[in-house]
Chain A
Amino acid sequence: MAEPSWLRQYLILERAALRAQLQYRVNFWTTLMGGVAFQGTQLLFLGVLLGKFGVIAGWGFPEVAFVFAMRLASHALYVVPFGALMLTDEMVRDGEFDRVLLRPVNPFLQLVTRRFSLMSLGDALLGVGALVIFSRQAPVDWDAVKIAYLLLAVLGGSLIETGIATFFCGLSFVATSTFSLRIFADSSITQFSGYPLTMFGRPAFYAFCTAFPMAFISFLPATVLLHRTSDVPLPIWLTTASPLAGALALTLGYAFFTRMMPKYTSPGS
């Protein structure tokens, strides 16, 4: 029998995961609200802050809100298909990863479809809504090229987050617990990636471009669309090419994952 394609395997497993999650109806709705509340409080925070102060490092609400919307849309595009990667730590610790290794399906694919994150649907709802609303309010003259660039940037941002999450999965094979690290990455991206990142000073900005590449998620492509590339201490061509960094981050993350997987040792009897 021919082996079903990767995509088909993914769809079959993901559908099963979604069905498992839909068992608990109340949870479905509250989790959806959880996603909205999680990201909504951040938007509320920006609204209150900019309502009182007007600008952050020269960026006004329409611009900051646009970056926020791009980031959130990227996040949704990562967390809807790949959100289950967050559970890897737990599976490695409990030894449940043993079972993954026994099945004749790619381990990464099994991790991704381990559980459907309902909360991600809340993120998607708010992300798409915010992107539609705030990209109209942003000072950008939209044309087909810019819209295509925006979509590419959102996709690139989601791949950056997926790459980081995949890297942490690799790390969990050798570290006992990566929980704090993952929460840190997630909450730093949530709290800080919407700001004009150059405001934290050059060393921090370069760190956000390399060690922890959250500048690529929305800030760098947003400066291109908002004509603010002069804020960024990088060559313009590099800033403009920033949406491509996502593919690189995912490749590196996945390479690390496959290198570390053989180091997994089963914890239990």
Chain B
Amino acid sequence: MSTAEQAARIRAFRGMTRAGTRSLLIYRGDLLTGAVTLVIQVVLAIAVWRIVYGDRGPVAGVDVHTAVAYAAIAACLQSVLLPWQFSSLPMRIRNGQIATDLTRPLGLMWQVLGQNFGVLLGRLPLGAIGLAVAGVIGALVLPPSGGAFLLSLVATVAGVLVAMLCNLIVSMVTFWTFEVGGPLIVYRFGSAFLSGSLIPLWFMPGWLRSSVEWLPFQAQVYTPVSIYLGRLRGGEALALVGVQLLWVVVLAVLLELVWRRARHKVVVQGG
């Protein structure tokens, strides 16, 4: 591929990203309500954990400050990573727009990834507002060291990649079933629980925790937040970031395989 072609592809990808962000920003009122409601939910989640702890000391080796900070950060991260309307792929397949999309010079997977990435960027301010409020009401704690902070940033990026790939693989089901509401909901709530965004893995009973560790979901929320809070340190933290990267590779290969089969399943609806 020539450099000019590559530059054109990057431009096209950026265009999709911008379109994704704009699709959110156009509904300002909705975005504003989204921010307000996220704040209310973060505040309520913080309240729940504070009340659950009461005057209790550490539970499962975790004190109230860590548990509260975890709940706040996880709720914000989750709202950025798993919005309700994430990918437009199912809609494009259902209304037949997929026919046009397939003729574009940029591959379909890149178009969708670009658009999803744009949605994610558009939602970042929401997460930031949620975090800021959590900070103001004293629910956040600082990471134990600069190193832990940097590593948690790397882990967040890896978590975002894992989430995007998982979301896209689930959306691909639409090529076979046309309707994807069901699988998306199972995925959404399954991953909310399994990623540790509802409840940190520390509190899960042993059997549940060891099953969850074999799945890609903990890479989305639990790994970055635990590293930030210093619950995972040194070699253990690095190993989990390694696991995240491994999942990125595995999921990317899986996506490619699914897409190869899906290509033969394309049915253009409507006329």
Residues of A within 8 A of B (CB): 24, 26-35, 37-38, 40-41, 44-45, 48-49, 51-53, 56-57, 118-119, 175-181, 183-184, 187-188, 191-192, 195, 199-200
Asked if A34 meets B181 with Cβ closer than 8 Å, knowing A49-B199, A184-B33, the reply is yes
Beyond known contacts A48-B204, A184-B37: 20 more, CB 8 A cutoff? A24-B179, A33-B186, A34-B181, A41-B190, A49-B203, A52-B203, A53-B52, A53-B53, A56-B52, A57-B51, A175-B29, A177-B29, A178-B30, A178-B33, A179-B27, A179-B84, A180-B37, A181-B37, A188-B41, A199-B47
Interface of A is mostly: helix
Residues of B within 8 A of A29 (CB): 182
18 CB < 8 A contacts A-B: A26-B177, A27-B178, A27-B182, A30-B182, A34-B183, A37-B189, A37-B190, A38-B188, A48-B204, A49-B199, A56-B52, A119-B181, A176-B29, A177-B30, A179-B84, A181-B33, A187-B41, A200-B51
Whether A34 contacts B185 in the complex (CB less than 8 A), given A24-B179, A184-B33, A188-B40, comes out as yes
Q: Are B186 and A37 in contact (CB under 8 A)?
A: yes
* Bound form: Cα–Cα A144–B231 in Å: 52
Specify which chain A residues have a CB less than 8 angstroms from the CB of B85 in the assembled complex.
179
Q: How far is the CB of A84 from chain B (nearest CB, A)?
A: 13
User: Interface readout for B40-65 with A: 1 if CB under 8 Å, 0 if not?
Assistant: 11001101100111001001100000
Q: Does any Cβ of A come within 8 Å of B259's Cβ?
A: no
Interface status of B271 (Cβ within 8 A of chain A) = no
Chain B interface size band reads: 35 or more
Which listed residue (A27, A51, A176) contacts B205, Cβ 8 A?
A: A51
- Say whether B110 faces chain A, with CB atoms less than 8 Å apart: no
Nearest residue, chain A, Cβ from B75: A191
Give, as a whole number of angstroms, the nearest-CB distance from A178 to chain B. 8
Task: With CB as the reference atom, state the residue of chain A lying closest to B200.
Answer: A48
Nearest A residue to B50 via CB reads: A199
Q: A34-B181, A37-B190, A45-B193 are in contact. Are A200 and B44 (CB under 8 A)?
A: yes
Query: Would you list which residues of chain B between 171 and 199 have a CB under 8 Å from chain A?
Result: 176-186, 188-190, 192-193, 198-199
